[in-house]
Amino acid sequence: MNNSITIIRPDDWHLHLRDGVMMKAITPESTRHFNRAIIMPNLVPPVVTAADALAYRTRILSACPQDSNFTPLMTLYLTDKTDPDDVAAAFANGIINAVKYYPAGATTNSDSGVTDIKNVMPVLEKMAQIGLPLCIHGEVTDPNIDIFDREAVFIETILDPLRRALPELKTTSEHITTKDGVDYVKSQSKNHCATITTHHLMINRNHLLVGGIKPHYYCLPIAKREEHRLAVRAAATSGDVRFFLGTDSAPHTDPNKETGCGCAGCFTATNTMALLAHVFEEDDALNKLEKFTSINGPKHYGLLPNTETITLKKSSAPFLYPKKIETAEGPVTVFNPGHDIYWQVIE
């Protein structure tokens, strides 16, 4: 049995850093273990232009510890009014690495998102021409569609027609949570991959709902049935180049989670690597952890893997990570898998 493993330093291909005092408090939790991250643009107001992205990147870098080499990979928030030429210029100038598609109203701060994909086809066509990736929150928002079915319906009604219309567009299905999502990625021979979160590998909807509602397990897309969790977990631990880590680590203060209408999001930046080592060891796949965290993502985004490494070690005593991160806005609870974790990053 392996009690330690050294891997190429990982990247996070889906990360929320927020802004202001919250960002200053939680950014070091990601820079500690990750070298790069695709930064989500759903601020208030959202990051919609190249100038917005440049300003946000400057604020992120100012929040990084002085000894950090962390590189934020910026995205633009796709809206019905996004200018294709502005997007192309931002990409050509090295300001952005992707564009983010939120269906309007799908998740936190997504009200400015796309109301109809037909409205953004000129942007998507331009992106296909220049090789700019599209990151997709893959859920429909029709109130008549059950929340547990929204990912599957999105694949059928939005994603697959888009892929057929623009097969040269490089797309990422973010935070997939269903067997439907896994199977669709596997059906695509090129230009389509998926990120998988840490928490969706570890919890199903029973963890969220049985014995009382657990607000810190509430996220969007919502956790699904066990059969879906197992399918997503099998994809993550398979070594398949089309699946890689995107934590979707999303901080909210405890009062905003533990309320009558709690915010969606799990904060996993602090302990993700320890949790992943636990998962991959359980599935006898520690030798594939590096592919999931450090190799597959850069390949999809046209980047080289990092040159540094990190080492994880399994101890006889549980790893005691912080339960909360204190911020000037209030405490942020770190994701708790509900059982002891014996792995930790040691260097």
Distance CA 151, CA 138 (A): 6
Distance CA 9, CA 95 (A): 23
Residues 100, 138: contact at Cβ < 8 Å? no
What are the residue ranges of helices labelled H in 160-253?
160-165, 179-187, 205-209, 226-236
Instruction: Examine the pLDDT at 109 and tell me if it is beyond 80.
Output: no
Residues 265, 250: contact at Cβ < 8 Å? yes
Instruction: Tell me the percentage of the chain whose pLDDT exceeds 90.
Output: 97
Q: H or E element: which one contains 245? A: strand 243-245
Cα separations in angstroms, 131 against 77, 128, 163, 169: 17, 5, 14, 7
Sign for the CA dihedral angle at 78, 236, 337, 23 comes to negative
Burial classification of residue 281, based on how many CB atoms lie within 10 Å of its CB (0-12 exposed, 13-18 middle, 19 or more buried): buried
Maximum CA extent, the chain: 56
Query: Which residues, 6+ apart, have CB-to-CB distance to 244 below 8 Å?
Result: 13, 193, 194, 195, 196, 291, 292, 293, 295, 296, 297, 300
Q: H or E element: which one contains 9? A: none
Q: Over the stretch 28-48, which tens digit does the pLDDT of each residue have?
A: 999 999 999 999 999 999 999
Interhelix angle 121-130/84-92, nearest 10 degrees: 30
Catalytic site positions: 248
Q: Over the stretch 197-242, which tens digit does the pLDDT of each residue have?
A: 999 999 999 999 999 999 999 999 999 999 999 999 999 999 999 9
**Angle (CA) 164 165 168, round 5°:** 85
Instruction: Examine the pLDDT at 1 and tell me if it is beyond 70.
Output: no
| Domain locations along the chain | 4-345
Q: Over the stretch 72-84, which tens digit does the pLDDT of each residue have?
A: 999 999 999 999 9
For the record, the structure tokens of 49 come out as 């232009």
Q: Over the stretch 142-152, which tens digit does the pLDDT of each residue have?
A: 999 999 999 99
Q: What is the mean pLDDT of residues 315-327?
A: 96
Q: What is the mean pLDDT of residues 328-339?
A: 98
Q: What is the CATH number of domain 4-345?
A: 3.20.20.140
For residue 254, give the nearest of 199, 174, 336 by alpha carbon.
336
